Chains A and B, each alone.
Chain A
Amino acid sequence: MWDLEIRGMASAHAIIASSMFMATVMPAVLVEKFSVYGTHMVWLYCVSGSVAVVNIAVFWLLGISPPTKKNTLSYKISRLFRSGLYFLLSCIFFHTVVVLYGAPLLESALETFSLAVLLSTLTTLRCLCILGPNVQAWIRVFSRDGLVQDLVAMSVWDTSLQITTGCSVMGAWLGAFPIPLDWDRPWQVWPVSCTLGATTGFLTGLLAAPVWIHWHRKQLTYKLK
């Protein structure tokens, strides 16, 4: 039972990671003059799109999302609408945070917003998939023992959400470090290093989550489904 869950999660993570890989490789074949630095925006949206699609598909197929209380169509539509709204709000939130961190306000606003979209895809979208449009639950997930107290059942997915989200944000944060250096490399251009950092962090999180959960399975007291 237990191992099954971990194995399932690991394979889901593998699918997501491979989709990111494909999103990098495929355009290189299809689009002319594609390069990660040169046509950075194309790459960024490819990755965001593929991660979004694969995430939604995986979580929908696996049925991880919390069961809806009502099964009416209108409720479903309102849920979908709320999810979309939350996603947009999280994009704006990330954009604001990035600007406050020192990104230029007006020039290259599009790049900044794209970074925000990528970050939202890597973090908020997973929250939406796993926890549904429920901000209270999101906040609770990111506390050490909030999971147990909460009504939402604690599962390996919640832990993996913690890890991947933390890693993505940390990666983007670390990605800002090389920007002031005077090396004149193409990846120091805003926001390349940050997006690269965020994706690398996300990949690390995808890899680390199953390993970490497997390692700590004794200490973790999950409510089994």
Chain B
Amino acid sequence: MRRLLLLVALIWVCSVFYVGIFLFVGGFLLVRLEVNRTSSCADVLSPGAQMKGDFCLSEPRFRRAVVLIIDALKADFTRYDPENTTPKPFENKLPVLNEMTSSQPSNARLYTFRADPPTTTMQRIKGFTTGSLPTFIDVGNNFASNAILEDNLVHQLGQVGKRVVFMGDDTWVSLFPKKFHKSLPFPSFNVKDLNTVDNGILQNIYPTMEGNDWDVLIAHFLGVDHCGHRFGPDHPAMAEKLSQMDGVIRSVIKRLKNDTLLVVMGDHGMTDTGDHGGESQKETDAALFLYSSSPLFSAPGSQEEPEVVPQTDLVPTLALLLGVPIPYSSVGQVLLPLFPQNGSRAALAGLSQAEALWINVKQVNRFLETYSNMAKDIPADSLSQLQADFSNISSHYLAAIHNGHLPSSELVISMQNYLTSVRETCRASWARFNPFKMAAGLIIVGISCILCYVLSEFSHVVLQEGLLKLPILSGVVVGLLVAAGQLFFQGYPETSWCFAAAAVTSVMFFLWGIHSAKCKRTPCDLFTPAMLVLFLRCASLLSDSYVIYEGHVVTFLLFTLGVFVPLRLNWDGLLLPPPAADTPKPHRLLPTVLPSSLVRRETTVLLIWLGQLVGSLYVSLSFHNCREEQGACQPSAFLSPLSRIQDSQLRNLHYVLSVLSLGMWGYLIHRWLRHYGNLNCSSVTVFLSCFLVPVTCVCIGLHWAVSATPEDTFRSLSELIGVAQVYIPRASFCLLALGLLLLWVDPMTVFLKSRTPLNSRGTSLPPPKYRASTGISPQAELHHLIPQLYQRIRHSLDDGGTESGEVDNRPAVEAYGLGTVYSAPLVQLCGLLGLVLLLLHPEGMALAFLLLLLEAGAVLHIHAGSTNLCSQQRHSNDFTVPWGPVVMWSLVASQFFHTTGHLPTFPSIQWSAAFVGFPQGHTGTLLPATLVTLNTFSSQIIFAVACPLLLFWPLVCEVRVTRSDRSSAESEDAVMEMRLRENPQKFSSGLLQLTARYLFVTGAQVFASVCAAAILRRHLMVWKVFAPKLMFEASGFIIGSGFMILGVAMVMRVDISVGRLFKKLLPQNSR
């Protein structure tokens, strides 16, 4: 019951947090409504102006178009600098563009083509076919792209009967199902595959162009993008790929007819590491090249050329050039150089600039009206301003037309200004907040932090007196009442507000219950240095500079906390043994229980562990990734996958290092378990530790080797490699999942041995043959065990039977590994989880994971050591973990978030994790999303699961006073974690306290980043720094708390097993 109560309490606290987070995020992140209307030829844009439709008024300028989309064609790739004699692999590889623009200036133009963030392929396709702006919330949909429902170019082309032929990236087919006249999709998911899509296109594009069964040809090349993802731009493969593209463009130009427009464009750019998704200029700036064999542009210099073309502008331009209606919700602006100026009307057919702009303005105005009727996003004052502008333009234009002379150039400029300001208004208002939800979310997250603190202070009361029933019930009731009320008055319930009401009510009832329980408070320990460090950490989240340097800030704070431990102990006079007894101690006698040699040993051990902590902290700094804001910062060499390293010796070195650390990871955990005798039983654990983990390690090592092999070296084995890339990681996943399952089914790691009556008195070792007869452990193993691990279960389940005098009367039982019965399964769980997560990381991160293990061990041992040293002064029997280690634990978790190469930015998400074991890509969204989430929050997961270890470790490392006189047998026996068993009430309240404290510490950080996002929502850096930080912190908290509950559940599971074990023993004993 108390176990269930503990879990319920934790789940309740977490859900209050979740409600707060979701409320805030719901008000903070922005959503844009989709307008599901379509334009058509018959549309009359402004009533009464023209008789027939506006869009299909005149003869289209081009009958056909070829659109070549080269994924991730960065603007830099297309520049040509003849003076650059030593070009990098990505420079000067597309000379055709330069040749065309310089030799035929009236036929070709090259522009920088600026995408809107997020710069992921699907969002971009959406953007340059619908002409609308994507919102922040769309980012996650890259895996299963759903059909575009908004009006778009492909739809419009189909409507007027153009035959659209598509070939290339299969994302298009899922975005535009059944819209193409003919489509040749090729799989895009395998990032490592540089050639399938491109070769597929090349086989088909020329025959198609030469044939006559097409009007618009869209070809989407993926090779450049995949090359960037796999090798980065600065790699010979990129040169090869770009040269291939150069050839493609040349041959396409050769086959162009006069009535055909060629558009070559990149959908986004890439960073220096070849990634994209964010909003840095390197990612947003792509290239746009326009060409036609008939003169298209007026002579250069005759009119103003735009420096940068926004991506949305392509939509209305293409639409008007091809004679189709502009898609309904486009906010783009026609690209003026493509339209003849007013004076030169006679030279070229088609719309003039003013006419094109006029149609464009009317279309945008219509969209604005529709949208403002549907959603109240756009602020009224700017809306009315835009309306006024429009009517002004409209009257001027119509007057000019009516008078029969051409619209003036001022009018053209004012139309351009109107379109630009509409675009900016939309951009701004699709970044608008819901202040009520934000405030409510902020308050609830704050309340939940207070709740966690109260829970940790009164954990014993909460579990004993059942204070939880009323709050939870009342919360549910109030939530339902609010829902019913909303249903009655509004007609529909708003779930977020119902949850908010439920959360607030339940917390209030709980606090009231605590208040009326009138239990005495422990002295306030809110102003300890640990709390100061936590405060500093939270304060640092409010400054963009500190968020940018977060990895260093956390390391700095951790170092401070670590160094503070011995200083504090020394201040309390506990670090060194008290000086020789000849000095009189007049003031007070310390209740010293430890002899000075032990104190000295403990101090040395503590300092050694501190050294390890400090050392691993320092080394961990070299695994960090770099944000773009950090300037002169080099990402860690271990972050790039092995296949990207070109120097084969370096690659081998990295591989060996990774495999060694993988082996160390397995060995250290195995060694720990063996040391505490948990490997003597014949249960699942031994199987796990001795068989499953090594096999998995071998699998992981093989997987790394396979994925690191350069593609060209083993051509004959490529099929085998392909198979191995699929099945080895999957096999490892299965093995690890099996391990986790087995661990859950049978977490006991105790080997029991009934004592022979002969041995029952003494504490001497059992005879050697006895050891052999168990047939489980080799001799060497037992040498470790004997001094510490043999212990008797002196107490029976009757309680109180712990007197040492009774020992002789009862038949005692010896148990190996009972001292670490709770922590051993947790350690194993972490070991297995660590392997799963490591598999999802780049190979070099194995070192970081080993460091994580060492550092976690150091923190645990420092905590245990300082507890031992403190026990000289106060011998408390309740299992309280002070704030210091808890804060440290959570800081280590955020430190390793950075040390495993992650950053709180979207471009730094390691998407390659989704392809481990699935190199061909996925069909659903759930699995890849899970894999990427596991990869991203691996550090939070491991530390959250291992959180209860903070409670166990001081018991595991308890000092056993071995007096020379051996007066009492009591002091010599190792009790270790059986203390918890002796005191079940205190055990569960201690566990609740620990977890509540951990939740408080992590929750406070979430609260701080929520505050940062709320306060600084107009800050320049909000979308670059604070919003992503909030998203990462909040998701880290949600994932972490979930896994913490899992860890606690594991402990509870073990507790049940231990209970059963004792029940089983009892009849045995009485027999």
Contacts and interface: CB of A to CB of B under 8 A. Distances in A.
B564 to A, nearest CB: 11
Contacts of A148: 587
A140 B570 CA distance: 8
B918 interface: no
B722 interface: no
A150 B579 contact: yes
Nearest to B579: A149
A173 B560 contact: yes
A146 interface: yes
A143 B571 CA distance: 3
Interface string A141-161: 011111011110000000000
Contacts of A73: none
B553 interface: yes
A100 interface: yes
B583 A149 contact: yes
Given A102-B555, A102-B621, A139-B576, A182 B570 contact: no
Contacts of A173: 560
A139 B572 CA distance: 12
Contacts of B570: 139, 142-143, 146
B581 to A, nearest CB: 11
Nearest to B559: A101
Interface in A67-93: none
B571 A180 contact: no
B583 A151 contact: yes
B206 interface: no
Contacts of B549: 180
B576 A180 contact: no
Given A100-B559, A102-B556, A145 B546 contact: no
Contacts of B548: 180
A100 B614 contact: yes
Contacts of A100: 559, 614, 617-618
Contacts of B587: 145, 148
Interface string B527-562: 000000000000000011110110011011001100
Nearest to B563: A97
Contacts, number: 53
B640 to A, nearest CB: 23
A176 interface: yes
Contacts of B553: 180
B247 interface: no
A29 interface: no
Contacts of A142: 567, 570-571
Contacts of A143: 570-573, 575
A144 to B, nearest CB: 5
Nearest to B621: A102
Nearest to A147: B573
Interface string B604-641: 00000000001001100100000000000000000000
Q: Kindly state the interface size class of chain A when it binds its partner.
A: 20 to 34
A101 B561 CA distance: 12
A181 interface: yes
Contacts of A102: 552, 555-556, 621
A36 B834 CA distance: 51
Contact of B545 (A101, A144, A149, A180): A180
A182 B549 CA distance: 11
A104 to B, nearest CB: 11
B583 A180 contact: no
Nearest to B614: A100
Contacts of A101: 556, 559
Interface string B668-712: 000000000000000000000000000000000000000000000
B571 A149 contact: no
A202 to B, nearest CB: 18
A14 B543 CA distance: 39
A195 to B, nearest CB: 18
A102 B551 CA distance: 11
Interface string A171-195: 0010010001110000000000000
Nearest to A148: B587
Nearest to B547: A180
Contacts of B556: 101-102, 176
Given A180-B549, A180-B553, A144 B618 contact: no
Q: Which residue of A99, A142, A143, A182 has the most chain B CB atoms within 10 A of its CB atom? A: A143
Contacts of B543: 181
A176 B560 CA distance: 12
B405 interface: no
A173 B559 CA distance: 11
B1029 to A, nearest CB: 15
B306 interface: no
B585 interface: yes
Contact of A149 (B559, B567, B578): B578
A101 B618 CA distance: 8
A146 B573 contact: yes
A81 B746 CA distance: 65
A99 B621 CA distance: 12
Nearest to B572: A144
Interface in B103-133: none
A151 B548 CA distance: 51
B533 to A, nearest CB: 11
A182 B627 CA distance: 15
A144 B618 CA distance: 31
Nearest to A177: B536
B1025 to A, nearest CB: 11
A140 B578 CA distance: 10
B547 to A, nearest CB: 10
A144 B873 CA distance: 14
Contacts of B555: 102
A140 B575 CA distance: 10
Contacts of B559: 100-101
A168 to B, nearest CB: 14
A145 B578 CA distance: 11
A145 B573 contact: yes
A140 B571 CA distance: 8
Interface string A184-220: 0000000000000000000000000000000000000
A139 B576 CA distance: 9
Q: Which residue of A150, A176, A180 has the most chain B CB atoms within 10 A of its CB atom? A: A180
Contacts of B576: 139-140
A144 B573 contact: yes
B550 to A, nearest CB: 10
A176 B559 CA distance: 13
Contacts of A97: 563
A101 B555 CA distance: 8
Nearest to B550: A180
A181 B563 CA distance: 25
A180 B614 contact: no
Contacts of A176: 556
A180 B559 CA distance: 17
A131 to B, nearest CB: 15
A140 B545 CA distance: 40
B552 to A, nearest CB: 6
Interface in A1-28: none
B656 to A, nearest CB: 25
A194 to B, nearest CB: 12
Interface in B437-482: none
Contacts of B545: 180-182
Nearest to A173: B560
A40 B817 CA distance: 61
A191 to B, nearest CB: 15
Nearest to B615: A100
A35 to B, nearest CB: 26
A145 B576 CA distance: 12
15 contacts: A99-B618, A100-B559, A102-B552, A102-B555, A102-B556, A143-B571, A144-B573, A145-B587, A149-B578, A149-B579, A149-B583, A149-B585, A150-B579, A151-B579, A182-B544
Given A100-B559, A100-B618, A143-B570, 8 more contacts: A102-B552, A102-B556, A139-B570, A142-B571, A149-B578, A151-B583, A180-B549, A180-B553
